[in-house]
Structure 1
């Protein structure tokens, strides 16, 4: 059980050096090389999914630019020392020359005007004054217009770092004036390895439970490529479970996710047309409190893996799957047609879209899965294509008949004699 008033894991283990920014090495090296060659841009834009390190990288950029005693990494690139006065104050969030603005709540033109009034003043403590604008895509159109001139020609020693999860909403005039970096979703393996390190450090203090490898693997999968989400979930589970080691079942119950074994059993029942087993498995899941949306969501992801591995047997690295799971899925889909799996993916996806507006979500999902389990030709995409082709042939034949001149001339009606009165 976690101790009271303990610092959250995602804050405690926030990267403090560029070497600690896991999963975004391409960005770290580029920024460090720019610092080494003294080619610093006046504006940066960091874009990517949530929890991938955009704000952390912005703070690291501010730290390395104001560090008083840069260290050299083994690769010869500079990094923050973490011991100088500026580094320590930045880590304590007590540095006047780093200004963070949340554009989600400060998105008006008046907010930008206030910032413009303060931008003209020189840095008070460090070499650079850094403005970090988070969720910059939330700024209004007039706010972007007011910001444009300042962004284009900022005062000396002022740097803007714009962070966003939705770069498509940022005007092209803003993007063109920034050096842009795309943050990628972090792989499950990288997140899991980092979680294992943190659990080892925390459990050594005696106030944090140990975790089984399978449990950490599921947490990493639930993080969906975001370190922050993975650490938040790890913290939540550690705070709510006193039993240790924390097992996979504990994580599944708290996250409402289906295990790999369960998904394999459900899909095996579908692929083997065992409708009785399929209905039994679905009833068991409902009795455990799983919602149709949850079942459909996890099943869709599993079917996607089946589809990819059927197309490319060596795609387990692409899917970020453990080797043993990938091998089992390959065996499972060995006798299936790719078209059938694609049809299953499409049908489950359509079911998920309809579930949100359905009064009987359970019935809807069950009926769709039973249709897949029937294996009848009418439910496969190739059968639909074959049926369409047959209908097209019939229509073409009918057109030919209609266009052909008739061999029989219709008989004329006998003329009616005209009688004179």
Structure 2
């Protein structure tokens, strides 16, 4: 009976064998393909990125691309290595004599680099290029880097260096300047979930889409980490006999909170129901969810609701129920309330991760959120204090109203709004509004403008703050290059030009100019302007 093959983990079994299988790195593949087709190959490549995005796999693919000879043995370097010729198979199996892999974590010294320098002098045995792949290159010693510099700058024509690192900031700039650098991006959660779905299908395993989305989120952009989690999830599903990887199993395996339960907890926080909030936190803790994970999930909700508030499309990985809840919260919560929730929960998360009593610390953080929800808005409090200082009836002694605030009083038009901003002391912003922007839409508290000349990067933020202070409402300021009215200063100049042209066209003035050809109309201003 044939001996059974040892099990290979998914992260190794599904390592990319072609550039087409390398997910999330299209820009790098296109650049490399153009370089190969145009014969502009660098002598050293530096691949950097977070763990598990495919740095070492990419290095091996580049080695294949440079040494592939095609099925007929007559091919040259190609971005699509055949995978059938002897160089391709030998590199894939890690046995090619001219492709040398070295782990810089265990070979850090100058002696290891001297071996490379000496060997680099000799031609490749059977390949087109002798290739050195050095993983975690940032761990080489200073002496080792210095010893490599000369060979790295002027290597023999038959030698290529491929460096991989997760900490490119630790690589000396003298090395960086001698390499063609590729920054491999984090892989998006959507791409990872789709990839894990294909892997599960190839393994003959059924998986819920939500389960794959949870695995993708937990992977944090790393394909290798995600495949390891998926491997564990498949084993977990097999032990329960269902053969189906479910979202509940993944949450239980990773100690993740139930998203529905977290939404309910967020709802009771907003309602100020302390007893129910503490009970919900305890329930999650009893299920094995860490208190810090609960607070992190609440932070994700606040972030998601804030993105919906500014008009960002919903996450396609969310359920319809979750998207609807986010939309409802975004419609009912102001930016000030969302920012305050974020700061309170972020502080609570930080305290919980460092606390000796995590559960109790998380409970106190939730109570602080509930208590802060009853405090007056800082803007309203400032107005109340200003009114009291001016002798207005003190409203601070009255209990806070539970109803909606009275509607803000908005300026009648754009010009009146600019006057209000100037009267509030923000003269520079008022001047920029008058001279540098064209109006697209004025529908308080919405203002859409088109810059006529460059504005400061924080102009919209400062303008919204000035209008908030002046009107008490949260304003939304948008800018784009669409059609807009001329700026007010342009309108003013156009009116002055039209008035001047009308005067010059008057018969009496024309007769005067004909009689005195050198005469000019100077210092013209409308009558209202002269009397001002």
Q: State the TM-score, normalized to the length of structure 2.
A: 0.66
Report the counterpart of residue 397 of structure 1 in structure 2.
Answer: none
Aligned ranges 1:55-134 → 2 under 5 Å: 55-69=56-70, 78-134=79-135
Report the counterpart of residue 214 of structure 1 in structure 2.
Answer: 210
- The 2-side partners of 1:253 and 1:35 are apart by 48
Report the counterpart of residue 307 of structure 1 in structure 2.
Answer: 306
Report the counterpart of residue 399 of structure 1 in structure 2.
Answer: none
Between 179-188 and 367-376, the greater mean CA deviation after superposition: 367-376
* Residue 111 of structure 1, CA deviation: 2.2
Report the counterpart of residue 293 of structure 2 in structure 1.
Answer: 294
* Residue 240 of structure 1, CA deviation: 2.9
Aligned ranges 1:183-222 → 2 under 5 Å: 183-203=184-204, 209-222=205-218
Indicate yes or no: 2:39 matched with 1:38: yes
Indicate yes or no: 2:266 matched with 1:267: yes
Report the counterpart of residue 418 of structure 1 in structure 2.
Answer: none
Going from structure 1 to structure 2, the CA distance change for 1:244 and 1:323 (only over 3 Å counts) comes to: closer
SS in 2 for 1:79: coil
Going from structure 1 to structure 2, the CA distance change for 1:371 and 1:333 (only over 3 Å counts) comes to: farther
2:236–2:249 Cα contact (<8 Å) kept: no
Going from structure 1 to structure 2, the CA distance change for 1:47 and 1:352 (only over 3 Å counts) comes to: same
Aligned counterpart in structure 2 of residue 235 of structure 1, from 231, 236, 242: 231
Indicate yes or no: 2:385 matched with 1:383: no
Between 267-276 and 226-235, the greater mean CA deviation after superposition: 267-276
Indicate yes or no: 2:344 matched with 1:347: yes
1:70–1:79 Cα contact (<8 Å) kept: no
1:316–1:323 Cα contact (<8 Å) kept: no
2:345–2:369 Cα contact (<8 Å) kept: no
Report the counterpart of residue 251 of structure 1 in structure 2.
Answer: 250
1:191–1:220 Cα contact (<8 Å) kept: yes
Report the counterpart of residue 335 of structure 2 in structure 1.
Answer: 338
Q: State the TM-score, normalized to the length of structure 1.
A: 0.83
* Residue 298 of structure 1, CA deviation: 2.8
1:18–1:79 Cα contact (<8 Å) kept: yes
1:64–1:70 Cα contact (<8 Å) kept: no
* Residue 366 of structure 1, CA deviation: 1.1
- The 2-side partners of 1:102 and 1:384 are apart by 58
2:82–2:88 Cα contact (<8 Å) kept: yes
SS in 2 for 1:333: helix
SS in 2 for 1:101: strand
State the structure with bigger RCO (CA 8 A, min sep 6), 1 or 2.
1
Going from structure 1 to structure 2, the CA distance change for 1:385 and 1:93 (only over 3 Å counts) comes to: farther
Q: Structure 2: 5+ residue runs without aligned partners?
A: 73-77, 390-532
Q: Deviations over 1:272-310 (max 9, x none)?
A: 222222111101011112222222233323322222222
Going from structure 1 to structure 2, the CA distance change for 1:40 and 1:355 (only over 3 Å counts) comes to: same
- The 1-side partners of 2:173 and 2:231 are apart by 39
Going from structure 1 to structure 2, the CA distance change for 1:121 and 1:350 (only over 3 Å counts) comes to: farther
- The 1-side partners of 2:33 and 2:258 are apart by 41
* Residue 219 of structure 1, CA deviation: 1.0
* Residue 390 of structure 1, CA deviation: 6.2
Report the counterpart of residue 414 of structure 1 in structure 2.
Answer: none
